[in-house]
Amino acid sequence: MNHSATFLVLGATGGTGKHFVSQVLADGHRVRALVRTPEKLARLVGDNKHLEVWRGSITDDTLDTDGLVTGVDYVVSMLGDVAAQRSAKINTAFAGGLSRPYQGQLSPLLWAIRYTLARGYAGQHEDNEAVMEYLATEADDIEWIVHRAGIGSDGESKGILQRSKTRFSVATFADCAAYNYRTVVDDSAVRTCELSCYGSG
Ligand SMILES: NC(=O)c1ccc[n+]([C@@H]2O[C@H](COP(=O)([O-])OP(=O)(O)OC[C@H]3O[C@@H](n4cnc5c(N)ncnc54)[C@H](OP(=O)(O)O)[C@@H]3O)[C@@H](O)[C@H]2O)c1
């Protein structure tokens, strides 16, 4: 992609989102970010003439969603709200490695982890799965991509994440952001719900 594109970023103040915004701006692209707390975004990524900030919540029924997407080339959703997602569906096209793709499988080990060690996030996974089912069955009119990320922590890069149908790595937020940036402009990734891993997939 050599032209200057505009990315609408949802979840820009999050662990992954803040890196995504910084990486895209560093390449000279434009970002429109919907955030609940603009001051938080300014603290995390600084000022930039190519950064346009909209204050608001994705769950606000009065949000001007048509205006939000006008002039946008890519929409990247890295939203997450663990507490809210225990009971509501607000998610995103950015799922976890413990989320099952529509009509896909998770191994018995991953199911066990999801409902034991990771049970606090079970609502997010169920929410992610509802989104993947919607995309697979009803969203013929958009070119969507789901990243079933396995994120561990912030910190230094551990390498370059590759797309994978079967393996996932516990990655850093920065590496996940870089993966999302590469993949969202990759035509061959359209309509996939893949995992990501360091090394070859
Ligand atoms: N972290 C992991 O280990 C992991 C692993 C796999 C997949 N995922 C998935 O990856 C996604 C992002 O993860 P993350 O850890 O980077 O997220 P995060 O740090 O929890 O950040 C979530 C972002 O969503 C924003 N947000 C939440 N509710 C919102 C609302 N109603 N309106 C507008 N913005 C809202 C938050 O804004 P505020 O700053 O205002 O709160 C924040 O910017 C999630 O969908 C998660 O399920 C995460």
CA angle 10–16–22, rounded 5-degree value: 85
How many CB atoms are closer than 10 A to CB 71? Answer: 11
Residues constituting the chain: 201
Confidence at residue 94, expressed as pLDDT on a 0 to 100 scale: 59
Q: Which of 54, 77, 79, 110 is the best mutation target for the ligand 1 pocket, counting ligand atoms within 8 Å of the beta carbon and taking the most? A: 79
Q: What is the pLDDT of residues 12-68, one digit of tens each?
A: 999 999 999 999 999 999 999 999 999 999 999 999 999 999 999 998 999 999 999
Confidence at residue 74, expressed as pLDDT on a 0 to 100 scale: 95
Q: Which of 9, 13, 55 is the best mutation target for the ligand 1 pocket, counting ligand atoms within 8 Å of the beta carbon and taking the most? A: 13
In the predicted model, what is the mean pLDDT of residues 133-156? Answer: 90
The CATH topology of domain 1-79 is: Rossmann fold (3.40.50)
Task: Determine whether the shortest distance from the Cβ of 184 to ligand 1 is under 6 A.
Answer: no
Better-scored residue on pLDDT, 35 or 201: 35
Q: What Cα–Cα distance (Å) separates residue 47 from each residue in 55, 144, 146?
A: 15, 30, 29
Task: Determine whether the shortest distance from the Cβ of 92 to ligand 1 is under 6 A.
Answer: yes
In the predicted model, what is the mean pLDDT of residues 153-157? Answer: 89
Task: Give dist(CA 179, CA 173) in Å, integer.
Answer: 10
Task: Give dist(CA 94, CA 44) in Å, integer.
Answer: 21
User: Could you tell me which of 48, 54, 47 has the C-alpha nearest to residue 72?
Assistant: 54
List the residue whose alpha carbon is closest to atom 1 of ligand 1. 151
Task: Determine whether the shortest distance from the Cβ of 56 to ligand 1 is under 6 A.
Answer: no
State in Å: Cα 44 to ligand 1 middle. 15
Q: What is the pLDDT of residues 98-140, one digit of tens each?
A: 888 888 888 888 888 888 888 888 888 888 898 899 999 999 8
Give the dihedral sign, CA 79/152/154/200.
negative
The CATH topology of domain 80-201 is: Rossmann fold (3.40.50)
Q: Is 65 helix (H, G, I), strand (E, B) or coil?
A: helix
pLDDT at 158 over 60: yes
pLDDT at 150 over 70: yes
Paired tokens of 13:
């103040």
What number of CA atoms fall less than 13 Å from residue 160's CA on the CB side? 5
Give residue limits of the domains in the chain: 1-79, 80-201
pLDDT tier, 91 (very low <50, low <70, confident <90, very high otherwise): low
pLDDT at 200 over 60: yes
pLDDT at 87 over 80: no
Q: Is 71 helix (H, G, I), strand (E, B) or coil?
A: coil
State in Å: Cα 94 to ligand 1 middle. 9
List the residue whose alpha carbon is closest to atom 33 of ligand 1. 57
How many CB atoms are closer than 10 A to CB 136? Answer: 17
Average pLDDT over all residues of the chain? 90
Task: Determine whether the shortest distance from the Cβ of 89 to ligand 1 is under 6 A.
Answer: no
Give the dihedral sign, CA 119/123/125/129.
positive
Q: Which of 58, 81, 90 is the best mutation target for the ligand 1 pocket, counting ligand atoms within 8 Å of the beta carbon and taking the most? A: 81
Task: Determine whether the shortest distance from the Cβ of 176 to ligand 1 is under 6 A.
Answer: no
Task: Tell which atom from ligand 1 comes closest to the C-alpha of 98.
Answer: 6
